[in-house]
Amino acid sequence: MKYITEFRDSALAQVLARRINIAASPGCHYQFMEFCGGHTHTIHRYGIPSLLPINVEMIHGPGCPVCVLPIARVDKAIALACLPNTILCTYGDMLRVPGSGQRSLLKVKAEGADVRMVYSIDDTLEIAKQNPEKNIVFFAIGFETTTPPTAVAIQNAKLQRLKNFSVFCNHVLTPVAMESLLKIQPKNTTISLAGFIGPAHVSIVIGSSAYEKISATYKKPIVIAGFEPLDVLHAILMLIAQVNAGHYEVENQYTRAVNREGNLKSQRLVHEVFELRPTFEWRGLGWIPNSALQIRADYADFDAEIRFTLPESTGKEHKGCECASVLRGIKKPTECKLFAKVCTPENPLGSCMVSSEGACAAVYAYDADSRKGIRIR
């Protein structure tokens, strides 16, 4: 298949791996973070760590929308689902994310709440039209990639005068989170990030220019890469070249999809419907100013947080869950005592074991040694 098979060519992968091994200076320890969970998935699915020299280390980042949502927001979604006369719709992975006390949307569905898995927000609009006597709430999550469809759906709901549709908005912003990882260096860690692999799909929407200020301010190279294994290997080689040369700039490896400006039409749509939230809590990263979006006053009728009174939740993580450290890249999934023992994809105790983009789920799925308790790279 064009644009896929040629980016999974094992002979070319070996060539890139050899070039990485030659380029990596023996006296240097290169720690690169792949921000996006899609890249984490690729890295483990294709065994990329086994192709890298010992001094090139990939650190998993927080770019999995299911993983970064804090328990307090999951608790609010569960509270919405439990309201009378309500149907709560969301993506499949969100149903299994544990909230406080290990309650999840799937568990409240089993108890009788009307919770439905949808593939897109458009399905939710259809459900709203078919059930005019009920309140239909879409539990919206995601980075810049999933925000434009939510904006379109809210505009369509307004045009169609849908009175029973609203959105519980949890859309978050990539560059702000990336900057917070550099700004607040956790204590007692040996992690020193030399650069980032920038997200693929997010960058199609926001463009490569969105990272230029971060790269210049923190003097870190950022290479935007596609999701195929050769894309990732190529990006690692580009990052090593920048580090070796003492450069720090934004480079675009994913030129077949990303340009500097991004998708201007999508950006306009998002701006019409959403504005910055003053602050938003991220699992693992804490409260970050201007790191998420809220629905503008013009569309307040479609904002579930305005339409419904939701209980406050402090959101208690499962004791022993290391998701917060995993999301910051401070710990590897295998350093969590619960990994593969009590926390598995069938019984996730933390959000990082739910989605295939979560670091714990990716390591569990593709590294058989990790399931036997062997620490992986």
Write out the residues near ligand SF4 by the rule CB under 6 A.
321-323, 326, 333, 336, 338-339, 343, 349-350, 352-353, 360
- In the complex, minimum distance from the CB of residue 300 to ligand SF4, in angstroms, rounded to a whole number: 36
Q: Give the Cα separation of 172 and 188 in Å (integer).
A: 28
Closest to ligand SF4 by CB, 48 or 321:
321
Nearest Cα neighbor of 323 from 91, 59, 70 is 70
Determine how many CB atoms are found less than 10 A away from the CB of residue 132.
10
Query: What angle (nearest 5°) sits at the alpha carbon of residue 20, between those of residues 16 and 25?
Result: 165
Nearest approach, Cβ of 61 to ligand SF4 (angstroms)? 15
- Beta carbons within 8 Å of 301's beta carbon, 6+ residues apart: 158, 163, 166, 307
**Could you tell me the two tokens for 54?**
């010992």
Q: How far is the CB of 323 from ligand SF4 (least distance, A)?
A: 4
Instruction: Give the burial string for 38-52 (b: 16+ CB within 10 Å, else e).
Output: bbbbbbbebebeebb
Quote helix, strand, coil % in the chain, to nearest 5. Answer: 45, 20, 35
Nearer to ligand SF4, 7 or 282 (CB): 282
Q: Considering the complex, what minimum distance in angstroms separates the CB of residue 67 from ligand SF4? A: 8
- For residues 178 and 353, which CB has a smaller minimum distance to ligand SF4 in the complex? 353
DSSP per position, 159-196: HTT-SSEEEEEEEB-HHHHHHHHHHSPPSS------EE
Quote the CA–CA distance of 164 and 274 in Å, as a whole number.
20
DSSP letter string, 363-375: HHHH-HHHHTTPP
The nearest distance, CB 317 to ligand SF4, in angstroms, is: 8
State the nearest-atom distance from the C-beta of 333 to ligand SF4, in Å: 5
Nearest residue (CB) to ligand SF4, 61 versus 262: 61
Nearer to ligand SF4, 95 or 235 (CB): 95
Determine how β-strand 279-282 pairs with β-strand 286-289. Answer: antiparallel
| Closest residue by beta carbon to ligand SF4 | 350
Distance in Å, CB of 207 to ligand SF4, minimum: 32
Q: In the complex with ligand SF4, which residue's Cβ is closer, 35 or 339?
A: 339
CA distance 257 to 314: 40
- Cα 80 to Cα 137: distance, rounded to the nearest angstrom: 8
The tally of CA atoms less than 13 A away on the side-chain side of residue 341 is 11
Closest distance to ligand SF4 from the beta carbon of 59 (Å): 15
Pick between residue 167 and residue 324 the one whose CB is nearest to ligand SF4.
324
Residue closer to ligand SF4 by CB (options 201, 318) is: 318
Q: How far is the CB of 124 from ligand SF4 (least distance, A)?
A: 28
Nearest Cα residue to 350 out of 366, 341, 339: 339
Q: What is the CA radius of gyration of the chain?
A: 21
Of the two residues 79 and 326, which places its CB atom closer to ligand SF4 in the complex? 326
